[in-house]
Amino acid sequence: MQITVKLFATFRAGRFAVEPRTYPPGTPIVEVIRELDIPEAQIGMIMLNNRHAEPEQELHEGDNLSLFPLVGGG
């Protein structure tokens, strides 16, 4: 299946902003995070098709996945 992955803020460094990517059907979001070598502790918010999502949710053909880092400064 093909999904669109969007990375935000510091996650773009050395990776990409938006990219179509291919995974086996039913791949959970956490697998994509691992494959992109993003430390899980840095994950702030996950959005799947513009809705807040959990790392264990499975992906489907045509999904839009957005990953945001935590932002904790002040």
Partner 1 sequence: MLTDEQIERYSRHIMLKEVGGKGQKKLFDGKVMMIGAGGLGSPIALYLAAAGVGTIGIADADVVDLSNLQRQIAHHTRDIGTPKVESAKAKMTAMNPDVTVNTYETWVNAANVREIIAGYDFVIDGTDNFAAKFVINDACVLAGKPYSHGGILQFDGQTITVQPGESACYRCIFPTPPPKDAIPTCSRAGVIGVLPGVIGTIQATEAVKFLLGKGELLTGRLLTYNALRMKFREVPIRKNPRCPICGDNPTITDLVDELDAMNVCDIQNNK
Q: Given the rule CB under 8 A, which residues bind partner 1?
A: 8-10, 39, 41-42, 44-45, 47, 50-52, 68-74
The answer to whether residues 43 and 55 touch, using CB atoms and an 8 Å cutoff, is yes
Tell the smallest beta-carbon distance from residue 32 to partner 1 (Å): 18
Tell the smallest beta-carbon distance from residue 45 to partner 1 (Å): 6
Tell the smallest beta-carbon distance from residue 55 to partner 1 (Å): 11
Taking CA atoms, 24 is separated from 11, 31, 32, in Å, by 23, 11, 11
The answer to whether residues 18 and 67 touch, using CB atoms and an 8 Å cutoff, is no
